[in-house]
């Protein structure tokens, strides 16, 4: 059997293969952010489809941190019960499930109190972004909110959490010199810009212990002038390694229209060269870091996924859009039909979600 189907362990989490469903906002949460039956059913389909590790869509840790409509939330104890059933369904099928926790920061939707969104620094770029600076008390509160989110995730039965440190959301904003222009201990040097993430990791560890799995999704590059760059990604990964992170998922882009690339690129060709957006970043990472790597972005071919793992360029293969179109893709590959994923990376799946109908593959639906 290919290495892709090795049984492995991340911290205490036993995985049946090396396939990960990368976090995917469904636009199907209940209006208060609680988990809906539709989302639970989608996760069940992924588990039936033999995805080893499912990372949920991003869940906001406090009510100022919501970044998308009908997004999952984990800001209050009353939300815990809604997740339990979903977690149980996934576990019964032998898959593992981790909750992605986030705060949108400067990219937050209209605030519940109509106050301005905040980022690490006040920043106004017409038609792109407008936010005030988060103050030090709010930074301390943020660490508490992320920690409480992790505590709730554990209570709901999740196998761990993933800190969302990518795609231009708050934790990425702190890392990025484009967003973070602070002059205190949370800005300036890379050690200072990484401080909030490291404090959150440490606080979660103090609350839940070393055995609770904590992953992070990091940008390898913001693809923005003056943004977070690959060399800094390696530095931050080294800091996270020393602080005891369990795995790093590499991605890129900020969601702002001034980023050269978005995290979900629209494909221009069908060639193998267009797959694996962050191959160079993975090589950089692997040279210096021994924490398991989860690689996302454009991976569509079985043979390529196999090669990436065999050449030890990554430990895990993470997929988002291919599993919207084919939730049973991993099962299909495991059963020997190793044709490329049907996803054509058109981003049509965002359209119904933004219209309030939830994600689905519009191409598949037209057939
Ligand atoms: C509909 C949709 C929703 C997404 N939601 C999230 C999310 O909640 N959290 C996250 O980290 N990334 C999110 N992403 C980005 C994906 O996880 C992934 O990084 C990106 O799509 C590249 O992988 P792919 O080429 O396999 O699709 C989303 C992407 C899509 C298309």
In this structure, the residue with its CA closest to atom 23 of ligand 1 is 297
Pocket of ligand 1 contains residue 180 by CB under 6 Å:
no
Place of tokens 């957006």: 277
Looking at the DSSP assignment, which residues form a beta bridge with residue 251? 219
Pocket of ligand 1 contains residue 102 by CB under 6 Å:
no
**3-class DSSP state of 262:** coil
Q: How far is the CA of 112 from the centre of ligand 1 (A)?
A: 26
Q: Rounded to whole angstroms, how far apart are CA atoms 74 and 60?
A: 6
User: Which atom from ligand 1 is nearest to the alpha carbon of 71?
Assistant: 8
Q: How far is the CA of 25 from the centre of ligand 1 (A)?
A: 7
Q: How far is the CA of 58 from the centre of ligand 1 (A)?
A: 10
Q: What is the pLDDT of residues 280-335, one digit of tens each?
A: 999 999 999 999 999 999 999 999 999 999 999 999 999 999 999 999 999 999 99
Could you tell me the pLDDT band of residue 116, with boundaries at 50, 70 and 90? confident
Place of tokens 């409480």: 148
Tokens representing residue 268 in the block: 């221009």
Pocket of ligand 1 contains residue 329 by CB under 6 Å:
no
Out of 54, 263, 357, give the residue to mutate to test ligand 1, the one with the largest number of ligand atoms within 8 Å of its CB.
Answer: 263
Residue predicted with more confidence, 273 or 71: 71
User: Which atom from ligand 1 is nearest to the alpha carbon of 349?
Assistant: 1
Q: Rounded to whole angstroms, how far apart are CA atoms 105 and 173?
A: 8
Q: What is the pLDDT of residue 367?
A: 62
- Name the pTM for this structure: 0.98
Could you tell me the pLDDT band of residue 113, with boundaries at 50, 70 and 90? low
In this structure, the residue with its CA closest to atom 21 of ligand 1 is 264
Q: How far is the CA of 136 from the centre of ligand 1 (A)?
A: 31
Residue 39 neighbours by CB under 8 Å, 6+ apart: 26, 28, 29, 57, 72, 86
* Greatest C-alpha distance within the chain: 56
Q: What is the pLDDT of residues 199-228, one digit of tens each?
A: 999 999 999 999 999 999 999 999 999 999
**Nearest CA among 150, 157, 159 for reference residue 12:** 159
DSSP 8-state code for residue 362: H
**3-class DSSP state of 242:** helix
HSE toward the beta carbon, residue 250, CA cutoff 13 A:
33
Q: Rounded to whole angstroms, how far apart are CA atoms 248 and 316?
A: 10
Tokens representing residue 315 in the block: 């430990």
Q: Rounded to whole angstroms, how far apart are CA atoms 277 and 299?
A: 8
Q: What is the pLDDT of residues 235-244, one digit of tens each?
A: 999 999 999 9
Q: How far is the CA of 256 from the centre of ligand 1 (A)?
A: 15
Residue 317 neighbours by CB under 8 Å, 6+ apart: 4, 18, 19, 20, 294, 295, 299, 305, 308, 309
Q: What is the pLDDT of residues 119-167, one digit of tens each?
A: 999 999 998 999 999 999 999 999 999 999 999 999 999 999 999 999 9
Pocket of ligand 1 contains residue 24 by CB under 6 Å:
yes
Q: What is the pLDDT of residue 114?
A: 74
User: Which atom from ligand 1 is nearest to the alpha carbon of 68?
Assistant: 8
The secondary structure of the chain in percent helix, strand, coil, rounded to multiples of 5, reads 35, 15, 45
What is the residue-averaged pLDDT of the chain?
96
Look at residue 10 and tell me whether its pLDDT is greater than 70: yes
Written as one string, the DSSP assignment of 6-63 is --EEETTEEESSSEEE-----S-S-TTSPPPHHHHHHHHHHHHTT-SEEEEEEEESST
Out of 19, 21, 23, 297, give the residue to mutate to test ligand 1, the one with the largest number of ligand atoms within 8 Å of its CB.
Answer: 23
């Amino acid at each position: 059997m290919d290495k892709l189907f090795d049984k492995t362990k991340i911290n205490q989490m036993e995985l049946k293969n090396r396939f990960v469903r990368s976090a995917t906002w469904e636009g199907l949460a209940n209006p208060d952010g609680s988990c809906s039956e539709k989302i639970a059913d989608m996760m069940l389909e992924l588990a039936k489809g033999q995805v080893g590790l499912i990372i949920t869509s991003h869940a906001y840790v406090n009510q100022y941190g919501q970044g998308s409509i009908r997004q999952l939330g984990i800001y209050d104890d009353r939300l815990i019960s809604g997740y339990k059933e979903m977690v149980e369904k996934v576990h019964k099928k032998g898959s593992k499930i981790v909750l992605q926790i986030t705060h949108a920061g400067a990219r937050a939707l209209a605030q519940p109190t109509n106050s301005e969104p905040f980022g690490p620094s006040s920043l106004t770029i017409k038609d792109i972004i407008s936010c005030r600076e988060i103050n030090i008390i709010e930074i301390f509160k943020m660490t508490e909110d992320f920690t409480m989110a992790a505590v709730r995730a554990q209570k709901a039965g999740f196998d761990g959490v993933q800190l969302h440190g990518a795609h231009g959301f708050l934790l990425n904003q702190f890392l990025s010199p484009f967003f973070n222009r602070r002059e205190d201990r949370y800005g300036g040097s890379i050690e200072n810009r990484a401080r909030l993430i490291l404090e959150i990791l440490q606080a979660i560890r103090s609350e839940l212990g070393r055995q609770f799995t904590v992953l992070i999704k990091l940008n390898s590059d913001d693809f923005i002038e003056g943004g977070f760059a690959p060399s800094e990604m390696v530095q931050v990964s080294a800091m996270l390694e020393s602080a005891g992170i369990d795995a790093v998922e590499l991605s890129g882009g900020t969601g702002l229209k001034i980023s050269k690339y978005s995290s979900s690129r629209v494909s221009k060709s069908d060639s193998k060269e267009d797959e694996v957006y962050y191959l160079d970043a993975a090589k950089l990472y692997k040279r210096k870091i021994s924490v398991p790597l989860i690689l996302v972005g454009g991976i569509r071919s079985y043979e390529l996924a196999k090669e990436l793992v065999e050449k030890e360029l990554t430990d895990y293969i993470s997929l988002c859009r291919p599993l919207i179109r084919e939730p049973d893709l991993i099962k299909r590959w495991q059963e020997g039909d190793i044709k490329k994923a049907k996803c054509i990376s058109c981003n049509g799946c965002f359209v119904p979600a933004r219209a309030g109908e939830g994600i689905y593959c519009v191409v598949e639906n037209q057939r």
